[in-house]
Structure 1
Amino acid sequence: MFELAFIEQCADPGLEISIVERFIEAVGTNNPLAVSISSGNRVILPEPPTTPEDAMRLVERFVGQAVVRVGITRYPAGHGIADVTELDPAMLDACQNVRMGTELFGKVFRIVAHSNGNADGSTFADAVEAWGTGTFEGRYIFGDADPVPAHPPAEVVQDNVDELSGDEQPGVLAPAPEELDPNTAGIRVDLTGIPGTF
């Protein structure tokens, strides 16, 4: 469907490229302006948009009233927003859609794998099904927390460990010198310009 170079350039680096390829093959479309709209068992078939502006108007019209999927990865347009004004037109750009879609699918895949106990043979199929329905084990899967955050919290690095006193510990930032004695601290906020002070 797409060249490997395009997928490698655009896909979320937190997801194995082999899984990305299978994901796009399973759910994807060649049309970055694709918009699919469904409500319950009903599928709404508007005239296919031919420009990003037309596609955005269609998305804005139906988000919040129906399930709207967009672009190559069939990204859920309403995910993570509280109002239609927050919709990001980048989801209609081919590369950005692949990035957004694979990042979200990566979370779905990890949730399913965590639930299954490991990434067994059925994990990918279960994750694709959850992507399509938006639910897994009766829950809205896109809103679930990622069991394995893609970006672990940064560690505090202490370079001058040898200079620490006995009370200080590596990884804990020492207070600034003026904070050690409150009586020697300088003025932090100048209130002299406010009427009624001093």
Structure 2
Amino acid sequence: MVDAALMQQCADPTLKPAIVEQFIVRAGSEDPLAVTVRSGSLLVLVPKATNTEEALALTRDNLGRNTVRVGITQYPAGLGILEAGALKPDLVDSCANIRIGTALFGKVYRGVAKWYGNPTNKEVLPQVFDDAIIAWQTGYFEGVAVFRTRNSGAEKLNETGTVGRDAADAKPDISENEVKPEESAEAVASDTNKAGIRIDLSGIGGRP
């Protein structure tokens, strides 16, 4: 179990502690060095990392070929990176991983809640949370890639519960597993179809 004091200290303050705890229990890992690699729906077996260097090496080796999730929150490692060499040790630092992971999950959660009409009924909230967890694990909600659009794709769903035209037609710039380890930052940046999304978390401000 992840230390409660660590979660309280490092988690995004816009999320209630109970949501943070359940998010990590349901979608995260107790091991800050945990690296999970998937090829499509298949789990790829990789050696267990015993230190920061090994965890980052595993991540770099698999980016560009597979989907890689890292750390306590199982953060999507390829998100917003131009090249594998740009990975930072913060990704497997317990506090930093909780901070960025809960901030991004908060954005996904609020997007899902908005699709539901921002319900307050206690009977509906568990379903909202379940769908947010699935969106976090798969990267999709209602057919929209929640990590790959400039704002969380779920937040582009309109109030009637259907996908708006801009969201439905949006073309993601890069998936979380499309980082090319062999390409230089300059080469990637010059191609707008390969440019990594820079996640703007400034819009996170409301409580669910």
What TM-score, normalized to structure 2? 0.68
Partner residue of 1:163? none
Q: Take 1:62 and 1:2, find their aligned partners in 2: how far apart are those partners?
A: 26
Partner residue of 1:87? 87
SS for the counterpart of 1:142 is coil
Q: Take 2:37 and 2:62, find their aligned partners in 1: how far apart are those partners?
A: 8
Map 1:14-163; keep pairs closer than 5 Å.
Answer: 14-119=14-119, 120-121=124-125, 122-144=127-149, 145-146=151-152, 147=155, 149-151=203-205
> Unaligned 5+ residue runs, structure 2?
156-201
Q: Take 1:70 and 1:36, find their aligned partners in 2: how far apart are those partners?
A: 6
Bigger RCO of structures 1 and 2 (CA < 8 A, at least 6 apart): 2
Q: Take 1:69 and 1:49, find their aligned partners in 2: how far apart are those partners?
A: 13
Deviation at 1:42, TM superposition (A): 2.1
> Unaligned 5+ residue runs, structure 1?
153-198
SS for the counterpart of 1:43 is strand
The more displaced of 27-36 and 116-125 is 116-125
RMSD in angstroms over aligned alpha carbons? 1.8
Partner residue of 1:166? none
Cα displacement string for residues 140-172 of structure 1 (whole angstroms, at most 9, x for unaligned residues): 1013415492259xxxxxxxxxxxxxxxxxxxx
Q: Take 1:62 and 1:18, find their aligned partners in 2: how far apart are those partners?
A: 33
Deviation at 1:44, TM superposition (A): 0.9
- Deviant stretches of 4+, over 4 Å: none
What TM-score, normalized to structure 1? 0.72
Q: Take 2:93 and 2:59, find their aligned partners in 1: how far apart are those partners?
A: 14
Instruction: Tell me which structure has the larger Cα radius of gyration.
Output: 1
The alignment of Structure 1 onto Structure 2 pairs a total of residues equal to 152
